[in-house]
Structure 1
Amino acid sequence: MVTQYSIQGTTAKGIAASVERGVTEGELAPGDALPPVRKLADDLGISPGTVATAYKELRARGLVVTRGRGGTVVAEAPSVASRRPPRMPEGLTDLASGLPDPAFLPVLHPPGDVRPVHGSHRAAPRLAALEELTRAWFRRDGVPAERVTFAHGALDCVARLLSVELRPGDAVAVEDPGFHHLLDLVPALGLRTVPVAVDGEGLSPGALRAALRAGVRAVVLSPRAQCPTGASLSPARRDELGSLLREFPEVLVIEDDYLTELDGPSAPTLSALGLARWAQVRTVSKRLGVDLRWAGVAGDPVTIARHDGRMLMTSGWVSHVLQETVARLFSDPEAARLVARGEAAYAERRRTLIDALGVHGIRAAGAAGLNVWVPVRDESAVVNGLRTYGWWVAAGARFRIAAPPAVRITASLLVPEAAERLASDFARVLGDTQATYGG
């Protein structure tokens, strides 16, 4: 029960604002229980219906959740605060960021001269050259590219698509474990998150079928290098999921192909199957530069039109200076060679770490991408134990809902020579944990 923070207000909006203020200022922490409806109504001298309305609004906005007899509590990732990772202590090797190695990112060369324009770019928001490069990028993997548009990164695109398609309280199926920022975004939009299990071939068909039958309005997934497990859709799994989704043509399917290589091999994608409602978003931040907040989007006519209609009313367009920078990199052979070297290095670093862990009997997943996902029994014990050896890894709680515990290691930043030392330290930590906690 919350005793250190006094909820105030005489109207539903006032009570909701008071709770939100407490969450924002840190006075109400994730998991803190709010007073029962009748108790708070008596304390404030108002009707229980007013308090119930306030709690309903807070639930719809993702600030609180109701746990049956457990009452109403502050959400684990309230919509007014993202699940930001703890600050890394000084002197540790950072293997928690999920970022690419800067050694394999090209130097950015924005246009030297940017001439003023009369009015705005709303009438012609996309540079023709980059639009054609983007169409070719999608078509390389068999993704229909008759209609493409741009956004300010993957999450910007996903947020816009979900906000124009769904209403507060609607359900969205997401990968579990999955991308932590997406897990924060969905409740922040007032939507319900429905976790769908992931295995080595992508979304579990059985879990997705259950989510669809439960009434989800949208599905968000990564077709390759899924974060944090590194799973990619196999052709058979892609076809199985496609057959299932065709039974629910009203459901919007959003693919976040965040790790598409500029010159890499094609990958199975649901977007190539002719679904009724679909969109695929591709970004370049992991391959060309983390500050390049640009995304290319392909989709069905209705989805693209709704996306662009909302964008027209908000930011209007993606900066043409940014578009010109991205277009130059797409056409730069030296940037392509650097990206290819990075892809090869990341693959070697993942394999080396997984093999080194395997020598000590530690199972890990990481077939693609920048990270390795290691199941453990006690995340905190492993994270804190590795910290004593000089390593900083990410606890899996940020990336999962109902999935078992694990830790995520950013293998892209771990040179092969250090992999054996990390694996040995990991084994020591697991041994210490088992001796202390029984596992």
Structure 2
Amino acid sequence: MVVQTTSPAAYKISGRGASQIAASIESGIADGELPPGRALPPIRDLATELGVNPNTVSAAYRLLRDRGAVETAGRRGTRVRMQPATAPRNLSFPIPPGAKDLVTGDPDRRLLPELVFPEGASQRLYSGDMILPDLLDTARARIGAGHVAVDDLLLTFGAGDAIDRALTAHLRTGDLVAVEDPGWGAVYRLLPAMNLTAVPVPIDNEGMTPEGLASALKRGVRAVIITSRAQNPTGAAVSAERAKALRKLLAERRDVLVIEDDHGADITPHHALHTVTGVTEHWAHIRSLSKAYGPDLRCAVVAADGTTGGRMAGRLRLGAGWVSQLIQAQVHRLWTDEAVQAQIVDAARTYTDRRDALITALAARGIKAIGTSGINVWVPVPEEAVVVGGLLAAGWAVAPGAWFRVDSPPGIRITVAQLDLADVEPLADALGRVLTASGSNGSV
């Protein structure tokens, strides 16, 4: 069966059994041939084309719904989810040669410290400690400085892995999870894959709004995922006043699991951590190293309550076992080397200069932009496709807000990690022209 796509060639669904048909559709989604929002063929049409019973196609679609890849939209039929679980972790699109890539959320490779593995480094055997004692002491000092309880620590393979394990430790099929809107797209794809339902909560420059969280708690959410600073995609940072308001609400629902993602800690030293952990019975604070030290380290330190930490560590032992102690030794060196720490401070300052320069340049053109911390700037726009397409034609690739939002208004995400200061004014000019051409007169 041929499905029309935005590419010149159409995607052909194949298979005889339900699993084969579902796998074929998943492959099309993962490759970008079946983009978010694309309608799948009606069940009877696809069954006729493939020469199978309609019940077989129906079973395939049901498998895809259970995996979080598609959704049934009433009379609109079955469509690929806007945030399908089978999509790549980092969404993107073909960027023409010569265009500046401001789509990916990668840090600037030029600002990452060098990884140095000493000769003769010893390898841990199966009976060793899960965490190196030196790293454990250092992690407790760094995370404890933010007033987070550090009695129970574990390591995971990055922030995404930690969120997955924390949710698995407590939640069950069908549970509701409060998430930031706009927020990290990977979480939007993770939840349906776990048969969990996202409840979007509006955010502003100071993080989740108290009104939005209160509404989500009334709906009966079992977990809340909050980014403390360098929020993706808006750059929001939880203020002391906002943390106090959120903690007050959470204290009234002590049964709710609180997951605090502090992935941007080391690149936002000018924003103190105002934690919301510790007021509920179960919580996890996640400190990832990806943005400051490099995504390939695949390491995050997690502080948690005893039950949550024990369940997460126990599940880790049954699966991967432990985070490589070669990586652990590297993390300890990076966190304790004065020269490296000076380099990280410079990197944080560079990201801040780029972000602030862009926001200032856009404001001078009457364009509102949001970006309190981190490496991303969020720009509200009237029509995402028009703005993304117009900027791409002008040589600037930015991310459509649809990748990061559920109910919040349209916008675009500009990652400033690769944006040199010399690029700021030309980019602001280009965005101003695109918005003016779209009828918004340079602002929204």
Provide TM-score, normalisation by structure 1. 0.89
Instruction: Output aligned runs, 1:191-202, within 5 Å.
Output: 191-202=196-207
Cα distance in 1 between the residues matched to 2:438 and 2:376: 23
- In structure 2, give the amino acid aligned to 1:401: V
Identity in percent: 40
Structure 2 residue matching 1:291: 3-state secondary structure = helix
Root mean square deviation of aligned Cα: 2.8
Instruction: Output aligned runs, 1:20-419, within 5 Å.
Output: 20-25=23-28, 29-34=35-40, 55-82=61-88, 84-117=91-124, 119-121=125-127, 123-261=128-266, 264=269, 266-271=272-277, 273-419=278-424
Tell me if the contact between 2:39 and 2:79 (Cα under 8 Å) persists in the aligned partners: yes
Alignment CA distance shift 1:55-1:90 (3 Å): closer
Cα distance in 1 between the residues matched to 2:422 and 2:111: 18
Deviation at 1:147, TM superposition (A): 0.6
Structure 1 residue matching 2:266: 3-state secondary structure = coil
Tell me if the contact between 1:380 and 1:395 (Cα under 8 Å) persists in the aligned partners: yes
- In structure 2, give the amino acid aligned to 1:185: L
Structure 1 residue matching 2:353: 3-state secondary structure = helix
Cα distance in 1 between the residues matched to 2:267 and 2:371: 21
Tell me if the contact between 1:60 and 1:169 (Cα under 8 Å) persists in the aligned partners: no
Cα distance in 2 between the residues matched to 1:96 and 1:353: 15
Deviation at 1:68, TM superposition (A): 3.1
Deviation at 1:429, TM superposition (A): 1.5
Comparing 364-373 with 240-249, greater Cα deviation is found at 240-249
Alignment CA distance shift 1:149-1:425 (3 Å): same
Deviation at 1:54, TM superposition (A): 5.8
Tell me if the contact between 1:60 and 1:191 (Cα under 8 Å) persists in the aligned partners: no
Cα distance in 2 between the residues matched to 1:246 and 1:40: 51
For residues 237-261 of structure 1, give each alpha carbon's deviation from its aligned partner in whole angstroms, at most 9, with x where no partner exists: 1121112122222221111100112
Deviation at 1:52, TM superposition (A): 6.5
Comparing 79-88 with 373-382, greater Cα deviation is found at 79-88
Deviation at 1:51, TM superposition (A): 7.2
Tell me if the contact between 1:20 and 1:63 (Cα under 8 Å) persists in the aligned partners: no
Alignment CA distance shift 1:167-1:360 (3 Å): same
- In structure 2, give the amino acid aligned to 1:75: R
Tell me if the contact between 2:377 and 2:414 (Cα under 8 Å) persists in the aligned partners: yes
Tell me if the contact between 1:137 and 1:262 (Cα under 8 Å) persists in the aligned partners: no
Matched, 1:15 2:18: yes
Q: Which runs of 5+ in 1 are unaligned?
A: none
Deviation at 1:34, TM superposition (A): 5.0
For residues 310-344 of structure 1, give each alpha carbon's deviation from its aligned partner in whole angstroms, at most 9, with x where no partner exists: 10011000001000011011110011111111112
Structure 2 residue matching 1:346: 3-state secondary structure = helix
Q: Which runs of 5+ in 2 are unaligned?
A: 4-10
Structure 2 residue matching 1:434: 3-state secondary structure = coil
Structure 1 residue matching 2:188: 3-state secondary structure = helix
Structure 2 residue matching 1:85: 3-state secondary structure = coil
For residues 90-133 of structure 1, give each alpha carbon's deviation from its aligned partner in whole angstroms, at most 9, with x where no partner exists: 2122222222223322111123212355x415x51110000111
Tell me if the contact between 2:66 and 2:193 (Cα under 8 Å) persists in the aligned partners: no
Tell me if the contact between 2:82 and 2:403 (Cα under 8 Å) persists in the aligned partners: no
- In structure 2, give the amino acid aligned to 1:139: G
Comparing 230-239 with 17-26, greater Cα deviation is found at 17-26
Equivalent residues, number:
430
Cα distance in 2 between the residues matched to 1:142 and 1:21: 49
For residues 158-177 of structure 1, give each alpha carbon's deviation from its aligned partner in whole angstroms, at most 9, with x where no partner exists: 11222232233322221111
Tell me if the contact between 1:16 and 1:55 (Cα under 8 Å) persists in the aligned partners: no
- In structure 2, give the amino acid aligned to 1:92: A
Structure 1 residue matching 2:201: 3-state secondary structure = strand
Matched, 1:434 2:439: yes
- In structure 1, give the amino acid aligned to 2:64: L
Cα distance in 2 between the residues matched to 1:29 and 1:348: 35
Provide TM-score, normalisation by structure 2. 0.88
Tell me if the contact between 2:206 and 2:236 (Cα under 8 Å) persists in the aligned partners: yes
Tell me if the contact between 1:2 and 1:33 (Cα under 8 Å) persists in the aligned partners: no
- In structure 1, give the amino acid aligned to 2:273: A
Structure 1 residue matching 2:148: 3-state secondary structure = coil
Deviation at 1:424, TM superposition (A): 1.3
Alignment CA distance shift 1:268-1:430 (3 Å): same
Alignment CA distance shift 1:25-1:427 (3 Å): closer
Alignment CA distance shift 1:113-1:219 (3 Å): same
Tell me if the contact between 2:267 and 2:291 (Cα under 8 Å) persists in the aligned partners: no
Cα distance in 1 between the residues matched to 2:220 and 2:45: 34
Comparing 102-111 with 309-318, greater Cα deviation is found at 102-111
Structure 1 residue matching 2:301: 3-state secondary structure = strand
Deviation at 1:66, TM superposition (A): 2.2
Alignment CA distance shift 1:36-1:332 (3 Å): same
